Structure formats: C-alpha cells, structure tokens
Structure 1
C-alpha cells in the first residue's frame, strides 16, 4: 500500500506522541470533564465572588470581585511599601516561564503577554493581601463584610482558581521561602481540615515587625482548663524546620493545603518506617475482600470508636487493649460544615489531575469514611465518640455528603489496608467480638462496672443463701 503524504504525517505524529516528555510539575488546569459533568458537582468547582488566575477571569458574574482585587492589590502595595511597576516588571520579564505553569488551553485566551502579566500581577498582589489580612474575625481590614470574606476563603482554594507559587514569591518581597509558606500555613490554620484542633483559638497581636506576631493558642485540656501560650519565635522556628524537612515547595495554595492537612513532614520518615514494619506483620495474605460495612456493624462486633487528637488524616489505627478485651478503631477528628464538600471535591480533583503524581491520600480517606458511613445512625456514633463535629445540619445530610463525594473514586488500595485487614480478622473471629462486646457492655463506664459487680455480688449472695438453705447447720 502506497503511503500518502497525509498518512505519512499521521505516522510521524504517532511517533512523536511516544516521545512526549512528562511534566515536571502539575500544571494549573481545568477540572476534568468527567468530574465537572457529574450531577450537582459543577457548582463546587467555580468561584462565586473572586476569580484568581486566567480560567475564570472576566466572567460577568465576578465583576464585583475584579473591583475588590484592585482595591486589595493597592492596599497590599501600600502596606508593604513596594513599588508596583517594579513588581509588575518581575512578572512581565518571567512571563514565558510562568506560562509553562498553566495548561495550554488555559492561557489560550491570553495571546497578549501584557494582558496576562497584568492579570497575574493584580491577582497575585490581591491574593497575598488575602493570605496576610483575610481574617474572618476582622473582615474590615479587607473592606468587605464577613459573608463576602467567607466566599473569598472558599474561592481561593478552588483548583481552577490557583496561581503558581513563583508568582507569589516574586511579589511577596520575602527572600526566605519559609516565610511565605509560613504565611500560607497561618492562613490555612482556620480551615476545617487543619491539624490544629477545632477548640483551639488564635489571637494575633502586631508588634514592630508587622510580619511577626505572637500567636496564642487556647485549648481545653482534660480538666476543662484553658491554657497554652505559644511564642512566635517557637512557631517560626517550627515552621522553618518543616520547610527544611519537606525539601519541596508547594506548587500553589491548594497544593499547600493538601500537604498541610495530610501529615507532619517532620515525622514522615519515622511514620513510614513504623508503618512498613507493622504492615509486614499484618498483611492480608490472599487480598481477601472485607465483609464489614459500617459503624453500626463494627459496634455490633464490639469495636469501640476512639478519637485521634492529632487530626492528621493518615492517623487511623485499629488496636486492642487489656489483652484483646477491648477493640478500638482510632479516627482523626474532623469538622463537617458548608465548606467540606467543595474542599474535598477540589482536593480530589487535584489528586486526579493526570500530571500530578501522588498516592491519592485524600481520595483514600474519603473512601474509607464512606465505607464507615451508610446511615445517619453511623454519623451519630461518630459524633458520640467526638470523632466528627457536625456543623452542617442533620446527621442525614452528613451521611449523604460522604456517600455523594465518594462517587466514582478510585482510592489507593494500599491506604489503610493494614487497618482494614485487622478489622476483618476481628470481625471474622466471633469469640473476640463477643469478648470485646462484653467488655464494652459491662466495663466501658463506671455505672456499668458498678452494675456488673452489684449483679455479681447478688448472685454470690443468692448462691450462699441457697447452699445454707439446702445444708442447714446442725444446732447440736
């Protein structure tokens, strides 16, 4: 068969496709159509007040946000005493490099480099102002109402609303990357997935250096007292150590949120070593399917829920206490509110980006929680164990939330495999379940212990009384 020029060109394209290099970093891109196209999901991917970056720029419904961004950018330049034209030139001179951080279809609508540079300059300055001054408890610094500030908080954490980290670094004026990441982390501390406990409170007091604050954290200890003062020098040193250990800067703000909520990088190597040793002892030999379904069934099998105070999503454990008398499933404490659904949707969409290499930690966590929650009664059990704080509404809404978010997820099968297998082994050994259930029924609180001993004492007295009735003492 004779090859035509057109067919020859097709084969050349086929050969080049094989040689296409992989991206060294995930590019800022649109949500995949198979995610956005799902019913009721699209609303969680689009900004409602402010667009950041090129994807949603210029939409009529976000016109008010454009005015706000200009105001915030101007306030940022005034506050930091930086020259706007100098900062703009930093962006313009690096525009070709910055364009590589976006997918091709994203910047296709910006053929004019000057227009793109100006947009990145304004959005970058306004985002830095949001990160440093976007306090929900004091929205007046941003010249907006608190309800608008809440929308801004949600908008800047959408996957399609991200700016490359380099844009923020060029505009921040900070020589040290640790300082900028510290600003990101301080902003993210108020997020519902933050490892900082929900009952902690932070009060910032400005001193001579506006970028350095004393941070007060208030937490309720077991006695109900409130305590703990954290000096900013310690906090700064801790954050800088985290940056040094992680050795990898975030790609954008959403990427930093994902890093922030998953684990503490300082303990990562130790966590991996411990997990490897444990997994070698607790492997599922035949990759058998699990048969338990939800919290209700686990409770029926005598498994008690326990809250993990670290709040890190990876901290899920199954263990026994009192020589296998008490079985416990330890889960991280989470808060469910109006921001939970868009947060999980965008983190999941980020993990599913084809150019982002990861282990699907967020997908796996959501899938694991979905396996535990089938009914509102399961949510009630989680609330009773103080694992879940429901700020959304009814327990039925929370159950529906996890059942909906987990639709079409493909989690990492290795995640929580050790925990699943331990639960499965317990679930299959009925005698352990009976022992654990008996312990939970009769020894889980002081009243049940008192009732058990009272009943036991009554039985002993009855036996003694019966014995003496059958064998009366001879008076002679």
Structure 2
C-alpha cells in the first residue's frame, strides 16, 4: 500500500499517539509520533531543495494581498486570464473580447480550431505544472485546456493587433484596449509562455507574432516563464559586469567564510555586509532636496535599464552627478511595479530582487513634491499621471515595507554618502547656491567683477601716468649739462 505523507494541517489537527497505543472510538484520527517527526523532516527538506529559477503561476503573497492599499493593484480591470480569476462574473465583457481575438487568431493561423485546441490538450499536463496546484485543482484537463487555448490565442492576437494597429478591424474600443494592456502584466493573470510559444509555432505567421512581442515588451535570449517575467527582464536589462564578477567570485570559493552569494536568503533577510568599514544600507541623506543642497545634480543615464544607476564627480571633484534611467509615470506604473514586486516575492522564485531594489532606491529619493519636480527638470522622470504630488504619493505608497537587496546600488550609495559627508563639498554647494542660484545673481557677480577689473586698470593707468617716462628723464639730463 502507498505510504501516506502527513500534511501540515494533519500535523496540527490530529492527535499524537505513542507506538502500540490504541485509540477510543470517539477520538479523532491519530498519527504516531514517528509519523509526525518524519513529516517534519520531509517538509523541511522539500522547502530547502524546492527553490527553482522560475516560479509557478500563483496568487499574490498574503503580505501584499492583505495590505489595504495594495489590493487595487492586483485585481484585473477588464479581462481575467488564466484560472485564478476565471469564474468572476464581472469580467464577462472581457470574455467576449477574448473570444473575438481568439477567433481572429484561428482565422489567421490557417488551421482548424480542432487542430489548435488538440495541441493544447496534448500539452495540458506540462501546462498544468506551470501553475501552483491550488489555482488549477478545480478544473479538469478539458476545462483547463479550453481556458488556456482561448486565453493564449487572445493574448497573442492582442499583442499583434496592438503593435500593428489592427483593433479597428475587430471593433474593439480604445478604452478596453488600454485597461486590457494593464491586465496583461498582473501576476494573477499570467499564462505560461510555453502556451504562447506552442500557439505561435502552430500559426501561419510565427515570425510576425514573435516580432510583435519583441516590439510590445522586449526581446529575450532564453524563453521567459510568462509575460510578466519577460517584462521584468526587459526593464532590468543585463546585470552589470561587476555584479557578475561578484557572483563568480562567490561561487569560486564556496568554502570561504567571507563569500556570500548575492541572492536573497529564503527567510527574506539579507546578510549584513560592510564595505570599507561602512554600512551600505545606511544613509544620512533623505531625498533629492538634500542631495541638491550638497551639490549633487541629477542626470539622465544613456539607456533606460533600471540597473543603470551610477554616481560620478566632475573632474573627480565637484559637482557630483547621480545618473538615473528615465522613467515614465502613468496610470499603469503602480500596478506594473507592484505585480513585479509580488512576482519577486514568490517563495519559489530565486532572484536578485532587482525591481524591489530599484523601487526602494527611487523611494529614498522621492519624499515630497519638490523631489518629483527636480526629477522632471532633469528629464529622469516624465509625469503622465497628473500632479507631482500624485507621483510622490505613488512612490511613497508602493515603496512601503519593501526589503531590497542591500547589494543593489551598493557602490552608488557609498559614493554618494562619501560625497555627502565631505564638508568642502557642502560648503561649495552652499556658496554656489547663495551666490549663483539665479541668472540675476550671476549677472550681478559678473558686473561687480567687471567693475573691479576696470577700477584696477584705471588705477594702474594713473600710477603709470604719474611716473616720468624715459624721454622726460633724458630731456632733464640734457638741460643740466647745458
């Protein structure tokens, strides 16, 4: 008979009995002490070895889901994709649009609906394994296959239509298009990229569909887990060379007590590391205004990869420049970043928390409306949301209770802090702020300087004029001789 493995619920709910003891008829089902001990060991072993590169599609972790201000970021607005929100009646209009898009995909594929659907059915076991068991257990294989067939076909056709401006042909309104685009990047609205790949391979325009995804989100070298995973990779870009070197160094000396991999521990706590006797997680500056008062200026990085943050000094001295990737802030910014953060917090996703660390760093710069205003002037932030106060409130909200990777932007933070702590830099910044904060003060300074130069020239001329020249001395000498 197959051995039964005791679940966590059973460990807490069932009565423990010693080996050889019976139980009365009115007792609840019991497990032995040995079974309890064995289950504890097996569960712990499963957690330790169960971390994989790609997280299964699942619900948002309760730490975010139970936050009253965050729930709005995780619910679909128009369309439910995948099994998590499938039965919600408020998305019936979205179901209509999905069928329109899926039908168009079938028409353009040059294949029958039976052939396309049967391909999904044949892959349903592998596709089901891409989801956490809890979210698919109420659907049998036929129901799940049909759901994924419709949703996958609709997604591929939606992206192709968006890139090629084909929505008018389908009589889909622009407002529905906009909200549906946000819904594509919700963690609970994901479908396996394996599904999209299968459907594109079967279509008659495989290359066109792949190009449209590259234009819509970004290109990729290895196949992503889903569209949200692709968005994360696109936003973060490639890791910096020094970060890769750090990873290689750590992996090459596993026995060293000082080497730690740059990945977060599964308990959610980063190792406390110091560099040069300084703690990179501590900073005395609070926002853009304080950086500005110290003479640090904001500059736009050469590309928009979120890892591309750096700090330099002009001629290695003054002023300091904080280089930031440009970011566009609109109605989709909150849901997009919150779902990326939720994805990084999935317990089975081993990652470097790049998005979480970026938002945490940005939140440290934005504290008030003037911070947003200065970022706009420096062209590192484009406000399409509304007022600057709304942008400040947004980042203060989504930056709440984040636990970033302290190694992210570590070098930048240390350089800024070193610059900020330098009294000479602070004095020079204050001097330039007091005397050259506007064009009028600069013109006044130049006027005074010009006046001083003219006065000095006039004085020098007068002194030189009062002195006898060589001709005058010669004449006086000749007069004496005669």
Structure 2 residue corresponding to 1:38, chosen from 67, 78, 84: 67
Structure 2 counterpart SS, 1:305:
strand
Matched, 1:132 2:160: yes
Provide the C-alpha distance between the structure 1 equivalents of 2:192 and 2:72, rounded to a whole number of angstroms. Answer: 24
1:249 aligned onto 2:223: yes
- CA separation in 1, counterparts of 2:147 and 2:115? 15
> CA separation of 1:394/1:359 partners in 2, compared to 1, >3 Å: closer, same or farther?
same
3-state SS of paired residue (2:336) = helix
Distance 1:251 1:170 in 2: 13
Query: Which residue is 1:385 aligned to?
Result: 378
Name 2:475's counterpart in structure 1. none
Q: Which residue of 1 aligns with 2:126?
A: 97
Question: In the alignment, is the contact (CA less than 8 A) between 2:116 and 2:202 conserved in 1?
Answer: no
Q: Which runs of 5+ in 1 are unaligned?
A: 190-238
Shift of 1:294: 0.6
Q: Does the alignment pair 1:318 with 2:308?
A: no
Count, aligned residues: 413
Q: 1:324 to 1:362 in 2, by over 3 A?
A: same
Contact 2:51 2:350 in 1 (8 A): no
- Give the distance between the partners of 1:448 and 1:386, measured in 2 at CA: 25
| Residue number in structure 1 paired with 2:412 | 419
Partner of 2:279: 287
Q: How does 1:142-153 map to 2 (within 5 A)?
A: 142-153=170-181
Residue number in structure 2 paired with 1:400: 393
Contact 1:52-1:162 within 8 A present in 2 as well = yes
> Are the structure 2 counterparts of residues 183 and 2 from structure 1 closer, same or farther at C-alpha, using a change threshold of 3 Å?
same
Q: Radius of gyration: which is bigger?
A: 2
- Partner residue, 1:2: 18
Q: Secondary structure at the match of 2:360?
A: helix
Instruction: Confirm whether residue 301 of structure 1 aligns to residue 317 of structure 2.
Output: no
Q: Which residue of 1 aligns with 2:252?
A: none
Give me the whole-angstrom Cα distance separating, in 2, the residues matched to 1:404 and 1:305.
23
Give the structure-1-normalised TM-score: 0.79
1:382–1:269: structure 2 CA closer, same or farther, 3 Å change rule?
closer
Which deviates more from structure 2 when the two are superposed, residues 287-296 or residues 29-38?
287-296
Bigger drift between 33-42 and 438-447 goes to 438-447
Structure 2 residue matching 1:328: 3-state secondary structure:
strand
1:18 is the counterpart of 2:34? no
Asked if 2 retains the 8 angstrom alpha-carbon contact of 1:312 and 1:332, the reply is: yes
Q: What SS is found at the alignment partner of 1:322?
A: helix
Is 2:145 the partner of 1:117? yes
Aligned 1:433-448 pairs, distance under 5 A: 433-435=426-428
TM-score w.r.t. length of structure 2: 0.78
2:363, 2:396 within 8 Å by CA — same for their partners in 1? yes
Partner of 2:190: 162
- Preserved contact between residue 302 and residue 438 of structure 1 (Cα < 8 Å): no
Distance 1:398 1:106 in 2: 35
The structure 2 residue matched to 1:172, chosen from 194, 200, 208, is 200
User: Are residues 143 and 259 of structure 1, via their aligned partners in 2, closer, same or farther at CA, if it must alter by over 3 Å?
Assistant: same
Q: Which moved more, 1:127-136 or 1:357-366?
A: 127-136
- Per the TM alignment, residue 69 of structure 1 is displaced from its structure 2 partner at its CA by 1.0
Q: Distance in 2 between matches of 1:419 and 1:273?
A: 17
Give the deviation of 1:406 after TM superposition.
Answer: 0.7
For 2:302 and 2:435, how far apart are their aligned partners in 1?
26
Match of 2:116 in 1: 87
CA 453–416 in structure 1, closer or farther in 2 if over 3 Å, else same: same
Cα shift at 1:325: 2.5
**Does structure 2 retain, via aligned residues, the 8 Å contact 1:169–1:177?**
no
Partner of residue 82, structure 2? 53
Task: Indicate if the aligned counterparts of 1:136 and 1:146 stay in contact, CA closer than 8 A.
Answer: no
